[in-house]
């Protein structure tokens, strides 16, 4: 390493959550799509560059992009689309989702919260095709790695909002 560069290393543990549900993959995916809005990061950045106030930005983000869950989908990666080449015959989608209005509640207390905001989930068809599995890492377990009371409050609020989305997407009936 160069003399003018410092490196800090900190070990931490994430909490991985796996929800198995008999609800079919297509139904869970449909619910997620219904509950989440859609936006691209370039759209959000372009909006921020407009000559509008913070309050106007928040209003426009809510109006244009945020779904009823409070989240928006930024990107979808179709792992199922390529893993079949390797003999894995299961649908599997990785979602990157979030909301800049939620992210700022954490980033204002620790800029490194931006490493794990937005959040991610993996929706996979069950091995036997009956139902599906939704896997994610509890956001606060990645975001709060040292004592920071304000950050912890904001990250735990994100946990609750994210868990509510997961419950709504995977619940029977």
DSSP conformation letters of 89-150: ---EEEEEEE-HHHHHHHHTT-GGGGGS-SEEEEEEE-TTSSSEEEEEE-HHHHH--S--HH
Q: Is the pLDDT of residue 35 over 70?
A: yes
In a domain, 125, yes or no: yes
In a domain, 10, yes or no: no
pLDDT at res. 1: 59
pLDDT at res. 172: 86
Q: Could you give the number of structural domains in the chain?
A: 1
pLDDT at res. 173: 72
3-state secondary structure of 37: strand
Q: Which residue has the tokens 């490196």?
A: 7
Report the CATH number at residue 34. Answer: 3.30.310.70
Q: Are 106 and 151 in contact (CB under 8 A)?
A: yes
Percent of the chain at pLDDT above 70? Answer: 99
In a domain, 71, yes or no: yes
Percent of the chain at pLDDT above 90? Answer: 90
For residue 38, give the H/E element and its range: strand 37-38
In a domain, 67, yes or no: yes
In a domain, 8, yes or no: no
What is the value of pTM for the model shown? 0.92
Domain that holds residue 157: 16-170
- Under the banding of pLDDT at 50, 70 and 90, the label for residue 2 is confident
């Amino acid at each position: 390493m160069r003399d003018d560069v410092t490196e800090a290393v900190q070990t931490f543990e994430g909490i991985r959550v796996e929800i198995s549900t008999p609800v079919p993959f297509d139904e869970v995916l449909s619910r997620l799509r219904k509950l989440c809005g859609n936006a691209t990061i370039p759209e959000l950045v372009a909006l921020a560059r407009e000559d509008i106030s913070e309050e106007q930005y928040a209003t426009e983000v809510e109006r244009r992009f945020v779904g009823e869950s409070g989240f928006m989908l930024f990107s979808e990666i179709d792992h199922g689309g390529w893993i079949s080449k390797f003999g894995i015959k299961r649908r599997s989608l990785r979602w990157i989702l979030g909301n800049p209005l939620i992210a700022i509640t954490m980033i204002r207390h620790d800029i490194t919260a931006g490493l794990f905001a937005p959040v991610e989930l993996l929706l996979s068809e069950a091995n036997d095709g009956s139902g599906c599995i939704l896997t994610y890492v509890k956001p606060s377990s990645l975001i709060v790695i040292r004592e920071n009371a304000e950050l912890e409050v904001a990250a735990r609020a994100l946990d609750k909002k994210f868990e509510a989305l997961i419950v709504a997407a995977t619940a029977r009936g």
